[in-house]
Amino acid sequence: MTTSPSRAVQALGQNIWFDNIQRSLLRSGALARMIADQGLTGLTSNPSIFEKAITGSDEYDAALADARQQRPRANPQELFYDLAISDIREAADLFAATYTASGGRDGLVSLEVSPDLAYDTKATIEEAEALFQRVDRPNLLIKVPATQQAIHAIESLIDRGISVNVTLLFSVARYEAVAEAYMLGLESRLRRGQPLQQIRSVASFFISRVDALIDRQLQSLIAQGDPERTRRSQALLGRIAIANARLAYQHFQTLFNSPRFKTLAAAGAHTQRLLWASTGTKNPSYSDLLYVESLIGPDTINTLPPATFIAFNDHGEVAATLEPGISSAAQQLSELEALGIDLAAATRQLEKDGVAAFAESYHNLLQAIASKTLQLSATGG
């Protein structure tokens, strides 16, 4: 039997997770088959994914009606979490064997705090704790966006023994701050004599959105018609997101091979692996697996949206590609700067846009739940 690419990459130190959740996926046996047959080892969710799942069909209507009957005074946000937590628990249970077999390294499932809290440290901590307790599964990661305001929240949650998926990471500098927060949280626990073994964390570094923005800026330079600038700009199209990720990985290697982290590891701490997110190709002129096949390397995860997961297992090529490209990554980013494109400003904009997009999806979802609740009340559902 041929080994699927999503299983084959494990020999190179990478794991494939699924960037999607839907009740039919859980209850039809489809997710269980992906775990058994294709080596899927984890799952991520976000407000946009839940919006599509809950509003895109009527499969949640019965559960919503039941939740409304049980808690008639519940608001749309409370009803949403009733549905989401039920799904996340089911997914976590399907991955329980993977979690146990991997010693807790994989089999992890993510649930995100409200995007409305992205700039509120205290509220993020409070909601993360509440969600962690409600889900009550050891293989849960609470997703927290990597805004400046959330850095302390990440440190505090790790200190409190809550496993965290840090999301919406776009810049290497912010990644370093996130890794620092992770280690500070672990060090605080260690000083208090608290165990470190059960804590897991990943840093979700976004890929394709970087090229989507930077390519537009490069195309603007090309449109100016200067032959030399055109040549230099064309050489960077579709390359900056991968270069940015490779530099983040280089920092990961330095940070988690340092004497400082080795002290934590000796006490039972685990590395905060880099997770490649937003790896579906947005530009149709690029390979549909550009952001999968170019980022395969040890101690990493790639969470794939459904179409990309199918494509990878259909025609993906598995090879160690992440580390060999590091040497050229810094040069590519230097060339981008020389062309006058500010990557730091671009990543700040991407973070802001990412929070806003998740918030919009979240509000659309709550509005849809409120509308469905009214419809169910009117029809006696």
Q: Which helix (H) or strand (E) holds 62?
A: helix 61-70
Q: Is 56 exposed, middle or buried (0-12, 13-18, 19+ CB in 10 A)?
A: exposed
- The reply to whether 352 belongs to the active site is no
* Cα distance between residue 323 and residue 252, in whole Å: 12
- Bridge partner list, 157: none
CA 184/CA 342 separation, integer angstroms: 30
Instruction: Please pick, among 122, 143, 352, 372, the residue that the annotation labels catalytic.
Output: 143
CA-to-CA distance for 186 and 159, rounded, in angstroms?
Answer: 6
The CA distance from 250 to 244, in Å, is 10
- Residue 369 Cα distances to 25, 60, 73, 115, 364, angstroms: 21, 10, 14, 17, 9
| C-alpha span between 238 and 248 (Å, rounded) | 17
Residues labelled catalytic: 143
